[in-house]
């Protein structure tokens, strides 16, 4: 459906007769704000805090209170509540794949994740890191999400959406607490958190450790099952269970003084299981270790002069992924017995990133707010190594287990340098009208230049009704794997590929029906070109094109000061232009509802329902459509106290729905990727 077909609906809804209801501050609303947190402001859209309804983008805010109410244990679980975003799983490692508006790929590099404004991107495959374990939530203040392009502000990979995780400061924590949690799959966590503020000095720290055996769901058939049928062997370990255990350490430190802020973070994931196997053949013994060290220092003066603010930032990330127990690509006896010990591999890599940026905001011109920024990134995959017992030179053949060298190495080190410049102007050219225009130019050392614009017109049509029309372009940089893969069993790199590109049109309405009832409607149309893929070959190339249309409807209602009801319905349809068939994998329909009820003093119960439906197979995959599912979660908790105990109990997937995420076509996991069944969790926290 063309974008012009949406315009009549937008115009009709704008002029719908409705009473003009001004939001008023009442005692009930103040109480709701204390319980549910501030969801009315957002910073990710322009870099400056502003009202969500006036933001020049389609944005969602998840507060710490939201996270606690829904009983989310990880960022992935919290993000499932965002309209138009479904958290699926990839075939390799069962790592999270954020489907935003139906845009799907193997490694999910089209979504940019930031932590306090700093990208967490691994340039190896272009995503947040190629491990399956999500970030914890205890130290998160809020999560801000943009659906749609954001490259004019954030550059590479702000393509389908941008997620910024904002951690708690010392003033927010204001005390010391200890927490413990235990649950299904032999899982446990414990954490310590402290924060304080004395004058201009603000300090906070957080440390969490834990482990789990993982859900261990059964896989009925895998890739080796297919090879067994060809060779007449029985090497496959299917039916068998997934390998999803891991051990975790998370630490964060934050110190602020006057205009300076220093942050440091440490994340360790050890004994990470290989999910359904790196080559989609069950691997009960393969394990990896992922370590990430981050740091950033910033200086910000919002009043450098009367009309000028300045922000400077430098950040560092070191990322290491190592195989601690060889990955079994195919089990013992594979390929007619040619590999009596199995096809084994142990690829390792180490990355180092340095980022420098500066930004100014000038408001000295009447009705304008001008933001200009520059930056330099040094992105270095500085070391790789591999141990394996096979070669792909001349076809798959056995070798003695040992280090890979030269042409038999899966990937050699590479470095990428980036310089960028962006400008953005927020122009209030008439009463109740604001036009935001942004443009960013990125210059890469390895594939050239890209320039991306964004326009957004926001009209406060009435005190209770805001209308938005938005246009944007964005790009997704090719990963090192896609450019430089060598002796890799998946695909060979292509140094000449170019970035993927997207052009998006959006229209949105936000209607404050009453002071306690808010609705919004967003419609979108996007076109993606130069999609990077293998397209049935053994090498990556720019060959795909995709067109998508859809919309998201949201509702938030507080019928009582003790009760909040929220929900959304999202629809999308993405068509592969080469086959004129659904691009596959992502849900056409996504319905989410949640009720938070303070049924007694100091107690809250929350129930959420998540309905995922209409996931088609891509062209050529003749399996039946991925089964729809409905999951129900319950959380019972006490109010989080400044001092003393607070407790929570959570049940995930209450009715034990058989939840499956789509496996990649041709992967051999015929019956899709099984997700956890019913699980139980108990949590206690003591605050000093």
Check whether 252 has a pLDDT greater than 80: yes
Give the pLDDT confidence of 320-350 residue by residue, as tens digits.
999 999 999 999 999 989 999 999 999 999 9
- Compare 492 and 202 and report the one with higher pLDDT: 202
Domains of the chain: 3-687 (2.40.170.20)
Residue 494's Cβ-side half-sphere holds a number of Cα atoms within 13 Å equal to 16
In this prediction, residue 445 carries a pLDDT of: 94
pLDDT of the residue at 225? 96
* Per-residue pLDDT at 17 exceeds 60: no
- For 411-431, the pLDDT digits (tens) are 899 999 999 999 999 999 999
Identify the band that residue 132 occupies on the pLDDT scale cut at 50, 70 and 90: low
Average pLDDT over residues 398-405: 91
pLDDT over 90, % of the chain: 79
- DSSP for 84-153 reads TEEEEE-TBTT-EEEEETTB--SS-TTEEEEETTEE---TTTSSS-SSSPPPB-TTEEEEEEEES--HHH
Task: State mean pLDDT over 375-400.
Answer: 91
In this model, does residue 267 exceed pLDDT 80? yes
Average pLDDT (345-356) is: 96
Q: Which of 108-112, 449-453, 484-488 has the lowest mean pLDDT?
A: 484-488
**DSSP secondary structure letter of residue 468:** E
Does the pLDDT at position 680 exceed 50? yes
Residue whose tokens read 């704008």: 14
Beta strands in 363-488 (DSSP E): 368-391, 397-403, 414-430, 433-444, 448-462, 465-476
What angle (nearest 5°) sits at the alpha carbon of residue 180, between those of residues 176 and 184?
155
pLDDT per position as a tens digit, 97-121:
999 999 998 888 999 999 999 999 9
Strands (E), 199-307: 201-212, 218-219, 240-241, 246-257, 260-273, 287-305
- Classify residue 688 as exposed, middle or buried by CB count within 10 Å of its CB (0-12, 13-18, 19+): exposed
Give the distance, in angstroms, between the CA of residue 175 and the centroid of all CA atoms in the same chain: 30
Q: Are 623 and 617 in contact (CB under 8 A)?
A: yes
Cα 492 off chain centre by: 27
Distance of CA 476 to the CA centre of its chain: 15
Per-residue confidence (pLDDT) for residue 492, from 0 to 100: 83
Q: How confident is the model at residue 133 (pLDDT cuts 50, 70, 90)?
A: low
E runs forming strands in 431-562: 433-444, 448-462, 465-476, 500-514, 517-533, 541-560
- Average per-residue pLDDT for the chain: 90
For residue 491, the model assigns a pLDDT of 75
pLDDT, one tens digit per residue, over 166-202 is: 999 999 999 999 999 999 999 999 999 999 999 999 9
Beta strands in 326-367 (DSSP E): 327-330, 343-362
Q: Provide the pLDDT for residue 11.
A: 37
Helix residue ranges, H only, 185-258:
223-231
């Amino acid at each position: 459906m063309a974008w012009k077909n949406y315009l009549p609906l937008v115009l009709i809804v704008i002029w719908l007769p409705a009473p003009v209801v001004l939001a008023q501050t009442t005692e009930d609303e103040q109480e709701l704000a204390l319980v549910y947190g501030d969801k009315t402001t957002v910073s990710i859209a322009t870099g400056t805090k502003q009202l969500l309804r006036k933001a020049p983008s389609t944005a969602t805010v998840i507060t710490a209170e939201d996270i606690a109410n829904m009983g989310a244990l990880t960022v992935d679980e919290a993000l499932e509540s965002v309209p138009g975003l479904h958290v699926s799983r990839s075939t390799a490692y069962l790592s999270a794949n954020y489907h935003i508006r139906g845009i799907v790929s193997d490694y999910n590099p089209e979504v940019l994740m930031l932590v306090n404004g700093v990208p967490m991107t691994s340039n190896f495959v272009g995503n947040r890191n190629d491990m399956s374990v999500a970030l914890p939530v205890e130290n998160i203040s809020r999560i801000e999400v943009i659906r749609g392009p954001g490259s004019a502000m954030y550059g590479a990979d702000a393509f389908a959406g941008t997620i910024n995780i904002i951690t708690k400061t010392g003033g927010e924590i204001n005390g010391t607490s200890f927490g413990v949690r235990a649950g299904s799959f032999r899982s446990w966590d414990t954490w310590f958190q402290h924060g304080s503020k004395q004058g201009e000095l603000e300090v906070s720290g957080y440390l969490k450790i834990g482990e789990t055996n993982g859900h261990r769901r059964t896989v009925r058939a895998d890739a080796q099952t297919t090879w067994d049928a060809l060779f007449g062997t029985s090497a496959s370990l299917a039916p068998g269970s997934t390998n999803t255990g891991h051990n975790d350490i998370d630490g964060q430190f934050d110190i602020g003084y006057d205009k300076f802020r220093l942050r440091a973070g440490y994340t360790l994931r050890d004994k990470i299981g290989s999910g359904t196997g790196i080559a989609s053949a069950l691997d009960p013994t393969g394990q990896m270790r992922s370590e990430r060290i981050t740091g950033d220092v910033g200086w910000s003066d919002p009043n450098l002069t009367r009309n000028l603010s300045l922000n400077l930032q430098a950040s560092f990330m070191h990322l290491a992924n190592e195989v601690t127990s060889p990955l079994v690509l195919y089990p013992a006896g594979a390929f007619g017995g040619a590999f009596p010990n199995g096809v084994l591999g142990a690829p390792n890599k180490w990355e180092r990133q340095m980022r420098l940026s500066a930004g100014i905001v000038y408001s000295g011109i009447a009705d304008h707010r001008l933001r200009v920024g520059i930056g330099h990134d040094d992105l270095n995959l500085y070391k790789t190594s591999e141990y394996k017992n096979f070669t792909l030179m001349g076809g798959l053949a056995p070798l003695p287990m040992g280090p890979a060298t030269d042409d038999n190495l899966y990937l050699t080190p590479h470095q990428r340098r980036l310089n960028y410049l962006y400008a953005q102007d927020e122009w209030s050219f008439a009463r109740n009208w604001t036009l935001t225009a942004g443009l960013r130019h990125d210059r890469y050392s390895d594939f050239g230049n890209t320039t991306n614009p964004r326009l957004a017109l926001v009209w406060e049509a009435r005190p209770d009704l805001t209308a938005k029309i938005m246009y944007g372009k964005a790009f997704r940089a090719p990963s090192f794997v896609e450019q430089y893969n060598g002796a890799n069993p998946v695909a060979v790199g292509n140094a000449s590929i170019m970035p993927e590109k997207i052009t998006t049109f959006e229209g949105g309405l936000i209607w404050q029906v009453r002071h306690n009832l808010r609705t919004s409607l967003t419609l979108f149309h996007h076109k993606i070109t130069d999609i990077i893929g293998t397209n049935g070959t053994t090498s990556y190339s720019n060959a795909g094109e995709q067109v998508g249309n859809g919309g998201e409807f949201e509702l938030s209602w507080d019928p009582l000061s003790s009760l909040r009801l929220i929900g959304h319905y999202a629809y999308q349809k993405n068509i592969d232009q080469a086959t004129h068939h659904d691009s596959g994998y992502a849900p056409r329909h996504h319905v989410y509802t949640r009720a938070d009820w303070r049924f007694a003093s100091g107690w809250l119960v929350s129930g959420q329902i998540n309905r995922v439906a209409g996931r088609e197979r891509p062209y050529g995959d003749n399996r039946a459509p991925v089964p729809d599912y409905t999951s129900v979660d319950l959380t019972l908790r006490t109010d989080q106290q400044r001092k003393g105990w607070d407790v929570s109990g959570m049940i995930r997937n209450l009715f034990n729905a058989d939840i499956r995420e789509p496996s990649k076509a041709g992967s051999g996991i015929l019956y899709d990727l099984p997700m956890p069944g019913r699980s139980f969790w108990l949590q206690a926290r003591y605050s000093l």
